[in-house]
Structure 1
Amino acid sequence: MAAMLRVFSVAYWAFIGITCVVFFAGAVVVWLVTLPFDRRRTVLHLYSSAWASFYVYVNPLWRLEVTGRNRIPWRGPAVLVANHASLIDILVLFALFRPFKWVSKQEIFRVPLIGWNMRLNDYVPLVRGRAESVRRMMAHCDRLLEAGSPVMLFPEGRRTSDGELQPFKDGAFELAVRHQVPVIPIAVHGTRRALPRHGLVLRDRVDVHVEVLPPIEPHDDAATVKELARTSIAGALAAP
């Protein structure tokens, strides 16, 4: 079984690499056609969501369920925060099919095709640990929220190494308080079992669940909002 999974994993990642060429060509067309009238690039983001979700739904080892999607607004700003356990968290969160902007580490923006598409979408790059990059990220998110776009962040900052929910950083919650917009916690279940932090060999069949939790209305204290969001996600992850 282990050998079969290694072979399947190689074939799966090769399939992604090859088909990304076609999907990126489509993204360029969508960007060019919608650029004059879609300032928030909502159509391109939804195209990108379909692109990412395709790789989830064609994988016979993964079964994905999304609940609570209607808690994410189609229009209006919000701050979305999710736990981060695996590389495929990004794929399954795209399956929300709601217009939001990613905050992602800058290295991803340098990846051919995928990173280029992220730039077309006006997603937000971040170099972890660099104060100037954090300031630019926050200013970029300020502009997006003012324009009415939700932003999506992993408040842990990086993928968990042991499966436990890590402490949350402040940035997402400072944005929510400054703009007085809701924080929407999202619990992602099962992705670490599908693909652990280290390595690209897929595991056996896994059920993945993206659970959108009730929004947290903005308070005057970012620390309070952060604690409420973390408690919400931790409770959902601990539930049977």
Structure 2
Amino acid sequence: MAKIWSKIVLFIFNIKIKVKGLENISNGRNYIYISNHASAMDIPALICGIPDQIRFLAKQELGRIPLWGWLLKYGGYILIDRRNPKRAMKSVQKAIEKIKSGVSVLVFAEGTRSFNGELLPFKRGGFMLAIKSNTPIVPVTILNSYKIMRKHKLEVSPGTIEILIDKPILVDDFSGRDGETRLMELTRNIIKQNLEKTKTE
């Protein structure tokens, strides 16, 4: 359902996707995908670009966005109420259960969209989830999506969104809050380097 809906959205707005690095992920293996985020169009692009059955771990506010909110709520995605720590932890536990059932989870680690494609500071929720569930992290870099639909704008421009999938990071050697921080910094540096590399090409 989510893939069909996402393909329709991309087709209507004449948005193409180009995916590199699919050879880095294995069929039948679930992951926690950690991605940068610069456009509402990141969601359908990732749903179509990543072959796994993925569920987004997203802030509850996204559930109120027309169309996307419907997709998130009824597509089995996990919405977190960041203003209520108790509810947020329940959502994390729900995500762990989904991962253990074989589902991959995708987290926008910045927690919000960037206005200009620049990488924002990461939040640690996705990394805590990876360590608690002992699930490899796959860094994902999205390029050019902010040019197609910018934050707080309704205009959509045709174009190509490029998705770079890096090799999985095993979490066996990371534990506790210090491990979350190191894992977060490692993942962010990979995505940051990808973004900086494309600027010089």
- Please indicate, yes or no, whether the TM-score normalized by the shorter chain is above 0.5: yes
Match of 2:17 in 1: 64
Matches within 5 A, 1:174-189: 174-189=128-143
% identical equivalent positions = 25
CA gap 1:73/1:150 in 2 versus in 1, 3 angstroms:
farther
Name the structure with the higher helix share.
1
Name the structure with the higher strand share.
2
Distance in 1 separating the partners of 2:34 and 2:98? 16
1:121 maps onto 2:75 in alignment: yes
SS in 2 for 1:125: strand
Matches within 5 A, 1:1-240: 47-60=1-14, 62-95=15-48, 96-110=50-64, 115-203=69-157, 205-218=158-171, 219-220=173-174, 221-239=179-197, 240=201
Which residue type is aligned with residue 63 of structure 1? K
TM-score (ref. length: structure 2):
0.85
Give deviations 1:146-172, integer Å, cap 9, x for gaps: 212111110100111343201111111
Unaligned 5+ residue runs, structure 1? 1-46
Larger Rg: 1
Match of 1:30 in 2: none
Give deviations 1:172-210, integer Å, cap 9, x for gaps: 11111122211001000000011111211123x433101
Distance in 2 separating the partners of 1:73 and 1:122? 23
Contact 1:190 1:209 in 2 (8 A): yes
Match of 1:33 in 2: none
Give deviations 1:102-144, integer Å, cap 9, x for gaps: 1122234356765445344321011234312321221111111
Contact 1:75 1:149 in 2 (8 A): no
CA gap 1:120/1:236 in 2 versus in 1, 3 angstroms:
same
Match of 1:4 in 2: none
Give deviations 1:195-234, integer Å, cap 9, x for gaps: 111211123x433101111111113212111111101111
Which residue type is aligned with residue 167 of structure 2? P
CA gap 1:129/1:181 in 2 versus in 1, 3 angstroms:
same
CA gap 1:87/1:112 in 2 versus in 1, 3 angstroms:
closer
Unaligned 5+ residue runs, structure 2? none
Task: Tell which has more relative contact order, 1 or 2 (C-alpha 8 A, sep 6+).
Answer: 2
Contact 1:183 1:216 in 2 (8 A): yes
Distance in 1 separating the partners of 2:37 and 2:66? 23
Contact 1:195 1:201 in 2 (8 A): yes
Which residue type is aligned with residue 113 of structure 2? R
Q: What's the C-alpha RMSD, in Å, of the aligned pairs?
A: 2.1
TM-score (ref. length: structure 1):
0.72
CA gap 1:230/1:143 in 2 versus in 1, 3 angstroms:
same
Contact 2:52 2:104 in 1 (8 A): no
Contact 1:216 1:228 in 2 (8 A): no
Distance in 2 separating the partners of 1:234 and 1:112? 31
Distance in 1 separating the partners of 2:67 and 2:107? 22
